[in-house]
Amino acid sequence: MYTNSKTRGSNRVPNYSSGNRFSGNRNGSSGRNFSSRSGGRNKRKSSYEKIDVSRFISKSTVIEKEEIYLPTHTFSDFKIDAKLKLAIANKNYIYPSPIQDKSISHALEGRDILGIADTGTGKTAAFLIPIINKIISNRDETAIIVAPTRELAIQIETEFNDFVRGMKIYGVVCVGGAPISAQIRSLHRECNIVIGTPGRLVDLIKRGEIDLSTTRSIVLDEADRMLDMGFINDITFILEKTPTDRQGFFFSATLPKPIEKLIERFTSNPVKVMVKTRETSKNVEQDVIRLNNGADKIDTLCQLLDKEDEFKKVLIFSEMKHSVEKLSVELIKRGYKAGSIHGDKRHNDRQRTLLRFRKDEINILVATDVAARGLDIPEVTHVINYEIPQTYDTYVHRIGRTGRASKKGVALTFV
């Protein structure tokens, strides 16, 4: 519960409606290892998109009859190794999600996959299951998985480890903000999969610590987000280092032209799987908080957060790293259980804060858009845009952190 040291504002809150193939080095291991200098991330100056405020408002509607997706497979139907089927069953997975149902069979045949789907639709298992099955059949198989953020890379690693427990199949996470020397040591040991962020992967490739010349599978997860972050040249560089006959998995919530051209260049007749039905989830009620002249923004925010029975687990987005930290510090001073994640925080600090948020040790997380995509944080009741995002696409991904797994959520935007 909160302490009693909160400062109350005088403004009323407006009502709102409801030995590895990746390495050039050997260490005597019988397994495969992934083992160049960074030219730096390709930075792109972002420009604000003029967004009609009415797009931030979407009331709940009563759905009399909702179409239920009926999968054509169960996980036991897929032609995969028995050990992998058991691992899937141990996770209590019985029926695949639409993107899994529509893509896994084609992926098991070696086809390239282009998946267009919202976050939280099961994309991770859609590419991990076919890749792990290939590794079980041939321990010399290797794969590289590219993700836009450290948090998403680590989340992918967690699910990968769940699937391969006891199989002696290993992966390495290579992300910026963590010691590169430890990652290089891990690459020299036995591993089949490298999961990483574009900048760090390019650095390791240029150093000669990762060799992709025999890599049989590559995944781009949240490809549109990597474009937004200025990584298009990095991911092109990585793709160019892989053989032409490798299998590609490209997953994205949207398909901007540069990503479409990239996929056309690096795939051969991909299977296109589209399960994206609408811009924003029907489970998320959206509204705006209008600030009157003279209203204090943080006091207005605190009056919202004081409704503890409603605002149980809150993700607050702000644009700049310094503003995220300032807001988090102020909320803590006022007695709220808050934390922050942004690009200036050390990797371990970010992971520790996310873990505390997941475990409900804190119930307010203030973040830059580093948290907007890919992360699966259970039970977020509210997303608050303390500042209007730069683009509507960013808004869509921010509010996708709530209303997950058929639960209801609320998204509020200060205007």
Residue 247 sits in the same domain as residue 300? no
Cα(52)–Cα(385) distance, integer angstroms: 15
Average the pLDDT over 91-114 and give the result.
94
Residue 29, in any domain of the structure: no
Residue 265 sits in the same domain as residue 403? no
Query: Where does residue 53 rank: exposed (0-12), middle (13-18), buried (19+ CB within 10 A)?
Result: exposed
Q: Which of 274, 295, 322 is the last residue of a domain?
A: 274
Residue 214 sits in the same domain as residue 327? no
First CA to last CA across the chain, in angstroms? Answer: 29
Q: What is the count of structural domains for the chain?
A: 2
Q: What is the pLDDT of residue 273?
A: 92
Residue 344 sits in the same domain as residue 252? no
Report yes or no: 132 and 163 within 8 Å, Cβ to Cβ.
yes
Question: Model confidence over 203-261: pLDDT tens digits?
Answer: 999 999 999 999 999 999 999 889 878 899 999 999 999 999 999 999 988 888 899 99
Q: Which residue(s) pair with 288 in the sheet?
A: 413
Amino acid (one-letter) located at 113: I
Residue 126 sits in the same domain as residue 218? yes
Residue 131 sits in the same domain as residue 235? yes
Q: What is the pLDDT of residue 327?
A: 95
| Tokens (6 digits) for 213 | 């010349």
Query: What is the crossing angle of helices 150-164 and 347-358, to 10°?
Result: 70
Residue 146 sits in the same domain as residue 230? yes
Residue 340, in any domain of the structure: yes
Residue 129 sits in the same domain as residue 244? yes
For 127, 145, 148, the CA distances from 219, given in Å and listed in that order, are 8, 5, 12
Work out the angle at residue 277's Cα, subtended by the Cα atoms of residues 76 and 260, and round it to the nearest 5 degrees.
Answer: 90
What average pLDDT does the chain have?
83
Band (pLDDT 50/70/90 cuts) for residue 300 is very high
Residue 308 sits in the same domain as residue 242? no
Q: Which of 239, 274, 309 is the last residue of a domain?
A: 274
Q: What is the pLDDT of residue 61?
A: 40
Report yes or no: 119 and 383 within 8 Å, Cβ to Cβ.
no
| Tokens (6 digits) for 57 | 């408002």
Average the pLDDT over 266-273 and give the result.
92
Residue 159 sits in the same domain as residue 247? yes
Question: Model confidence over 154-199: pLDDT tens digits?
Answer: 999 999 999 999 999 999 999 998 899 999 999 999 899 999 999 9
DSSP string, 380-392: --EEEESS--SSH
Residue 10, in any domain of the structure: no
Q: Which has the minimum average pLDDT: 64-78, 295-309, 383-397?
A: 64-78
Q: What is the pLDDT of residue 280?
A: 58
Question: Model confidence over 302-312: pLDDT tens digits?
Answer: 999 998 789 99
Write down the pTM of the prediction.
0.68
Residue 198 sits in the same domain as residue 141? yes
Beta strands per DSSP E along 224-341:
247-252, 271-274, 284-289, 314-317, 338-341
What's the CATH number where 128 sits? 3.40.50.300
Average the pLDDT over 293-320 and give the result.
89
Q: What is the pLDDT of residue 70?
A: 73
Residue 201, in any domain of the structure: yes
Containing structural domain, residue 200 = 53-57+67-274
Percent of the chain scoring above 90 in pLDDT: 55
Query: Where does residue 245 rank: exposed (0-12), middle (13-18), buried (19+ CB within 10 A)?
Result: exposed
Residue 40, in any domain of the structure: no
Residue 302, in any domain of the structure: yes
Report yes or no: 236 and 262 within 8 Å, Cβ to Cβ.
yes
Cα(407)–Cα(68) distance, integer angstroms: 16
Residue 121 sits in the same domain as residue 270? yes
Residue 7 above 50 pLDDT? no
Average the pLDDT over 288-295 and give the result.
80
